Each structure stands twice: as structure tokens, then as C-alpha cells.
Amino acid sequence: MKERDNTGWIFVLPAVLVLGLVGLVPLITVVNYSFFEIFILDARFWIGTEWYEAIIGSGRFWASFGRSTLFSMLILSVQIPLGIAIALCIPRRKMWVGITLAVVALPLLVPWNMIPSLWLALLNPDSGILGRGLGAVGWPADWKLSIPHTWAVLVAMDVWHWTSLVVILCYSALTTIPASHYQAAAIDGAGPWQVFRHIQLPQLYHVLLMAVLLRFMDSFMIYTEAFPINAGGPDGATMFLAVDLGEEIKAFNYGPSAARSVIYFLIVLTVAYSFSKAQSKLSERQAA
Amino acid sequence: MKGTTGLIRIVKAALLLAFVVFVSLPLVQMTMISFVATLGHPDAELGAFTLRNYRGIFTDPNLRSAFANSIAYVVINICITVPVAIPAAYAFSRLSFVGDKHLFLAFIAFRITPPVVLTLPIFQLFSSLGIVNSVFGIALAHCLFNLPISIWILQGFISAVPREMDETAFLDGYSRRRFIWKILLPLIAPGIAVTAFFCFMFSWVEVVFARILTTTNGKPISMALNALFGFQTDIGLVMAVTVASMLPGAALLFAMRSHLSRGFKIGQV
């Protein structure tokens, strides 16, 4: 049991102050702006919830919402199983563990604005390794004109960029399983699937919840990487939520972009809340 | 039985190998381009092997200062994040206080808030504080996502330290502060290194805050890379800078490789 002690607040106070400054204060500013029509920041007038009504009522918002949801679902359905599988494949020998993890984590070190450039170079039909290979098997060089192909490139790029994080998280959880569990399973004659189902997977639940949260939210709000691949095209088919907001900010529409930001933050809060609910449910079940 | 174990081992090795190849492909492409002259130069033919892209990094003062800026803001960010995160992680791991669960929820919410949502007000706030166009501004803005992640990682490490350690120390007359300083910190030293590494990793590659907070000065590598794109982009130079930008991280990654996977043992708050 944890100690019941309200001096805990003294320990978290510095963190609260820093996040208050870079998180809460800007958030309140945004909420405030979202109710105004703003031409320049000194001249604004109250218009109530007009921006919100315009955004919620627009087909464009719901279309991007749908696209972002679909993208996140695709990303999760590839990255989570793949991440678990790769984590299970990492060899036991200590020397190989370190090298494998270091190589696998390399994509996390590429500056985000360079990731689309790397993939465009890779897919270049004349000089790219993948572009030439795919050309040889008949993948059309004009993938930018095809909605499914542009989506495939985006998903492949994100899988390349972020699966490593899932691998590292899962692998770290797997290393906490005591050897005695495996020995007991071997004595019971458990096959590999049963070992995975009853010993490894339960140990992964907490970490997977965090991985799902991070990967869901970051892919749902994908911004830097998504736009340069095909400028939101073809035909706006890869305009995601955050890309929409970015365009609004670039156009200096303070009011509407603030309202959009608030709506996005409400989505964030909902997700964070369901995450903490799921986490406490999981803890209860494991305690029982 | 022996047969299936062998088969599984082969399948595992093949899957891992396929993944490593997939991960390496864009990196190999990048490295190949970085050694090729992609614009015609008097001393290097178009498409010929050359080292001039890498030489270009040292001769361009903008690129040199970009590397210095990136290192500066990442170091400042770690110096803010880690000392602030340690006591918070201790509190979340060991103490139960009013509103602890809600506070943790709020921290997580800030971690998953997309930076683009807060760009405009953070820019205004930081201009009124006079810290735009400086490495300090970026370092502070990056606390938004690094601080919650750090608290979470450190909390895992602290929770792995048995609670009996605390109790014995208190019986021996240690105050809480002295216990943290003298006993807990040395025990979780690998955790602090892992945390610092993750701060480095998430901060080094971030673009959105880095862009809006550096319009004239203090540009990090990612923005210097952006500036290289233009009417005639020397893509070889771009790739060489990208390779160079990954080297410090890769060195850290290699040094940290055996600690990397430890410490995500998530306790619940």
C-alpha cells in the first residue's frame, strides 16, 4: 500500500509549474480566442460559439475526422501486432539484444521533416531502391495519383518510423518475466502459443495500453510527416485533422483555428480519460 | 518437439531479419545519396562519388551553428526535465495524495496534445517573455511532451526499487530528502540515463515548436535542413546533413543499448 501523504504535492509542484506554463496557460489562451472574431490580436469581438458551430457543422471537419480515424486504426492494426512479434523474436543472447535494439531504434532519430524526403527518395522510380524494385514488379510510378497507393506509402512510412517504439516497450515488459514462469510452463508441457497466451501476453497488457495510447494519438494527429508526401492529395484524400489545423493557422485565421484546437484538445482529454479508466480496470483485474 | 523448436527459431530469425532490412532500406538509400554529387560542381561530376557533401557541413556557418543550437537546446531541456521529473516520479510511485490520479491524467493529456494545437499561444507567450529565437524557448516548449514521458519512465524505475529500502532507511534515521539523494538516486542511475536519452530522442527530431519559435535566430538542424530546400535543392547535401544529425543519437543509442529496454515496467498510479 502507498503511504497516504499530501506532502506529495510538494514533490510534484515543480512539474505542475512547468506544465502549467507551457501547457495550461497556452490552452486557456486558445479557449479564450475561440470565442472571438480576431482580425489583429488587439481588435477582436465576441461571437460566442459561432466558430464551433461552423466547424461541427462542416462536412470537411467530419471528413478529416474520418480519415484520421481510419489512418490510426490502420496504424494500430499493423504496428501493435508487428511490434509484439518483433519483440518476441529478439534473440536471448545479451550481445545481440543490444545490437538489435540499437539498429531497430534508428528511425526514431531521423528529424521528422526529413522522413517524407527519405521515403520520396526511396520510392523515386529512377534512382530509389524501392522505386526501381517496385517498378520491376509492375507497381505504377504514378502512385501519387492513386488514393490507395498514397495511403499505402503513408502507412508504410509510419510503420517504419514508429514500430520500433512498440518493440522497445514490449521487449522491456518481456524481460520482467521471471525465468521460473517459463520453467513451470515447460514442466506443464505448454506449447509456444500457450506460453505466449498465458505468460507473455498478460505481462504485456500495461505496456501495450501505453503503446496504444501513444501510437493512437500521435498517428491520429499526424502532421509533419503526412503533408509533404502528397500535399494532402490526391484530391484531399490524405488531409488529416492536424494538417487541416496547420493550414488554418498558416492562413492566420486565429478564431477558427483556436476553436479547432479546443475541439482537438477535447478529443485528447476523452482519449486520456478512457486510457486511465482502462488502466485502473486492468490493475483491478490483475490484483484480483 | 525438438523439430518444432528449431523451426520456430528459424521463423523468428527470418522475421527479425526481414524487419531489420525494412528498417534499414530508407537509411541505406539516405547514406548512398549523401555520398553522391547531386548538383554539378567543377570538382565533382553529377552522380559521381564524392565527400564534398560532408565537407559542406563544416564550411557552411549556418549548418555549424544549427548543430550547436540543437545540442544546446536538447541539453537545456534535459537539465530542466530530469530534475523536475525525479521528485514527481517519486511522489507518484510512493505516495498517495489528494488528486494524484487526476494529476497523472492531466500530465498524460499534455503528452498526447499535438504541438500544432498550442503553437500560436506558445509563440505569443514566449514572445512576451522574450524567449523566442533562442534555444531556451525551444527547450522549455519541449517540456510539454518530455516531462510527462520522463515522469512515467522514472516512476517505473522507482517502483522497481523494493519499498523495504525506504522503510529501513527511515528507521535508520534518514529524512525523505536524504533518502532520495543518498540512496534512491544511485539506485536508479540507469533509469536517469534512459530518461535523458528519451528526452534527447524526442526533442532532437521535433519540428513544429522548433519551427515557430525560431523565425530569425537559434535555428536547430531540422530547420537548417528545411532552409536547404529551394529552387535548386542539393539533395546530396540534405542527406549528408541528415546522416550527420543522426550520428550523436546513434552513438548514444549504442552506448545505452543494454539499458534501453529496462524501466518501462509500468506501475499504476
Per-residue pLDDT of chain A (288 residues; tens, 9 = 90+): 577 778 889 999 999 999 999 999 998 888 888 887 776 666 677 777 778 888 888 878 888 898 999 999 999 999 999 999 999 998 877 778 888 888 898 999 999 989 998 998 898 888 888 888 888 887 777 777 888 888 888 999 999 999 999 998 888 888 878 888 888 888 888 888 888 888 888 888 888 888 899 899 889 888 888 888 878 777 777 888 888 888 877 777 778 888 888 888 898 889 989 988 888 888 788 776
- Higher confidence at residue B78 or residue B257? B78
Query: Touching check for A91 and chain B: CB below 8 Å?
Result: yes
Partners of A38 in the β-ladder: A44
What's the rounded Cα separation, in Å, for the pair A214 and B111? 9
Q: Which of A8, A102, A118 sits opposite B100 (nearest CB)?
A: A8
Q: Do A101 and B261 contact (CB within 8 A), yes or no?
A: yes
Contact: A276, B266; criterion CB under 8 Å: no
Q: Does residue A275 sit at the B interface (CB-CB below 8 Å)?
A: yes
Contact A230, A147 (CB under 8 A): no
Residue of B nearest to A83 (CA): B19
Torsion of CA A217, A223, A226, A231, to 10 degrees: 150
The strand pair at B95-96 and A3-4 is best described as parallel
Cβ distance of B110 and A86 shorter than 8 Å? no
CB contact under 8 A, B262 and A218: no
Distance, CA of A164 to CA of A107 (rounded, Å):
8
A260 within 8 A of A250, measured Cβ to Cβ:
no
What is the CB-side half-sphere exposure of residue A181 using CA atoms within 13 A? Answer: 15
Q: Is the pLDDT of residue B268 over 50?
A: no
A160/B29 touch (CB, cutoff 8 Å), yes or no? no
Q: Does A117 touch chain B (CB under 8 A)?
A: yes
Residue A250 makes CB contacts below 8 A (sequence gap 6+) with none
Count other Cβ atoms within 10 Å, centred on residue A81.
11
Q: Find out whether B130 and B175 touch, Cβ atoms under 8 Å.
A: no
pLDDT for A41: 65
Nearest chain A residue to B228 by CA: give it: A114
Q: How far is CA B213 from CA A128, A196, A268, B58, B109, in A?
A: 34, 47, 24, 25, 22
CB contact under 8 A, B16 and A98: no
A142: exposed, middle or buried (Cβ count in 10 Å: 0-12, 13-18, 19+): exposed
Q: How far is CA A189 from the centre of its chain?
A: 39
CA-based nearest residue in chain B for residue A90: B16
| B57 grid coordinates | 557541413
CB contact under 8 A, B222 and A273: no
Instruction: Confirm or reject contact between A89 and chain B (CB < 8 A).
Output: yes
Mean pLDDT of chain A: 85
Distance CA A118, CA A124 (A): 10
Q: What is the pLDDT of residues B214-233, one digit of tens each?
A: 888 888 888 888 888 887 78
Q: Which residues of chain B does A101 touch, with a Cβ-Cβ cutoff of 8 Å?
A: 257, 260-261
Q: What is the pLDDT of residues A168-190, one digit of tens each?
A: 888 888 887 888 888 888 888 88
**Letter for the amino acid at A215?**
R
Residues from chain A that touch B25, judged by Cβ atoms under 8 A, are 122, 129-130
What is the distance in angstroms between the Cα of A157 and the nearest Cα belonging to chain B? 10
Which of B29, B77, B98, B164 is the best mutation test for A, with the most CBs of A within 10 A? B29
pLDDT at B263: 52
- DSSP tag of B188: T
In this complex, the residue of A108, A224, A254 whose CB is nearest that of residue B208 is A224
**Beta bridge partner(s), residue A36:** A46
Q: Where are the alpha helices (DSSP H) in A90-178?
A: 94-104, 115-123, 129-136, 147-174
Using a CB-CB cut-off of 8 Å, the residues of chain A touching B30 are 118, 121
Question: Are A22 and B242 in contact (CB < 8 Å)?
Answer: no
Check CB contact under 8 Å for B116 and A242: yes
pLDDT beyond 70 at B42 = no
Between chain A and chain B, the number of residue pairs with CB atoms below 8 A apart is 283
Residue A38 backbone phi and psi in degrees, to 5: -125, 120
* Cβ separation A26–B118 shorter than 8 A: yes
- In angstroms, the separation between the Cα of residue A116 and the nearest Cα of chain B is 10
Note the pLDDT of residue B267: 44
Beta strands in chain B (DSSP E): 95-96
Chain A partners within 8 Å of B165 (Cβ): none
Asked if A99 and A176 touch (Cβ cutoff 8 Å), the reply is no
Measure B13 CA to nearest chain A CA, in Å: 7
**What is the pTM for the complete model shown?**
0.88
DSSP state of B99: T
The answer to whether the CB atoms of B19 and A223 lie below 8 A apart is: no
Residues of chain B with Cβ-Cβ distance to A23 below 8 Å are: 110, 113, 118, 144
